[in-house]
Amino acid sequence: MNNRILLLLGFIFLFLGACNEKPKQRKRVTQDMLLEMNRKMVSAEAEVIEKYIEDNKLDMQKAPTGYYYQITTPSTGDSIVLNDVVTLAYTTRLLNGTICYSSATDGMLHFTIGKAQVEAGLEQFVQQMGVGSIGKIIMPPYLAHGVAGDGNKIPKLAIIMMDIEVVEVNRASSVK
Q: What angle do CA 61, 62, 68 make, to 5 degrees?
A: 85
How many domains, in total, are found in the chain? 1
Distance of alpha carbon 159 from alpha carbon 31, whole angstroms: 25
Across residues 148-174, what is the average pLDDT? 90
| Residue 122: pLDDT over 60 | yes
Domain contains 22: no
Cβ density class 9-29: b for 16+ within 10 Å, e for less: eeeeeeeeeeeeeeeeeeeee
Segment 25-66, tens digit of pLDDT: 667 888 888 889 889 999 999 999 999 999 999 999 999 999
Dihedral (CA of 99, 100, 105, 108) sign: negative
| Residue 174: pLDDT over 70 | no
Distance of alpha carbon 121 from alpha carbon 159, whole angstroms: 11
Q: What is the pLDDT of residue 76?
A: 80
Across residues 126-150, what is the average pLDDT? 93
Length of the chain: 176
DSSP assignment letter at 174: G
Domain contains 16: no
Segment 102-117, tens digit of pLDDT: 999 999 999 999 999 9
Domain contains 74: yes
Domain contains 53: yes
Distance of alpha carbon 23 from alpha carbon 42, whole angstroms: 35
Domain contains 3: no
Residues 6+ apart with CB under 8 A from 66: 42, 46, 121, 140, 142, 143
For residue 104, the enclosing domain spans 31-174
Domain contains 108: yes
Given a contact cutoff of 8 angstroms between Cβ atoms, the answer to whether 102 and 44 are in contact is no
Domain contains 17: no
Domain CATH number, residue 57: 3.10.50.40
